[in-house]
Amino acid sequence: METNYLLSSKFKRIGLIILIPSLILGLYTLFTDWEPAFFDANVLGIFIEDLSGNNQFIGMVENNILNEILGILVILGGIMVAFSKEKDEDELIAKIRLESLVWAMYLNYGILLLAFLLLYDFSFYWAMVFNMYTMLFFFIIRFNIKIWRLRKAVSYEEQY
């Protein structure tokens, strides 16, 4: 059956090439607060609230844009990996895809619910930062494990 909401299968490889380095670098900058001066820039902001509590609507903000760039690359790469067609995409794979998506959503919100109850202040902030990305990763991991198991089961099966 023809699906029009998935990317062509060649995007899976491109997605991996974007995702893996930006994920590694992204985690590194997150844990080490690495902000090289090269990425300091004045950027456009829509709602700006500075540390002293002054609010401004539309203006320029000084910001290190490395984490923004990496965040965008992780999401774009992740979407390519998650939603590129399998080479043998068919209705069974579509069903596994849907199940994995629901499962990833349950797990992601389950973790966020726990974070609401158990984490406060900055700990909660960190949980939220990760929660933005984990849904994609939960989906990718669960979907690929299921597909891998399916293919393995068939390769054991004899031809007749």
Partner 1 sequence: MKNSIKVQRAIQNMTQAQLAEKAKVSRQTINAMELGKYVPSTVLSLRLSVIFKISVNELFELEKQDWVK
Q: Least Å distance between CB 13 and partner 1?
A: 20
Stretch that binds partner 1, among 19-27, 40-48, 122-130, 152-160 (CB under 8 A): 152-160
Helices marked H in the chain — which ranges?
11-32, 66-82, 91-118, 121-156
Q: Shortest gap between Cβ of 93 and partner 1 (angstroms)?
A: 7
CA angle 126, 142, 91 (to 5 degrees): 135
Let me know: does 19 contact 80? Beta carbons within 8 Å: yes
Output the smallest distance, CB 30 to partner 1, in A: 38
Q: Does 2 bind partner 1 (CB under 8 A)?
A: no
Q: Which is nearer to partner 1, 121 or 158 (CB)?
A: 158
Closest among 137, 125, 31, 32 to 74, alpha carbons compared: 137
Site string for partner 1, 61-90 (x = CB under 8 A): ---------------------------x-x
C-alpha–C-alpha distance, residues 134 and 142, integer Å: 12
Cβ neighbours of 93 (radius 10 Å): 17
Binding positions for partner 1, rule: CB under 8 A: 1, 88, 90-93, 95, 150-151, 153-154, 157, 159-160
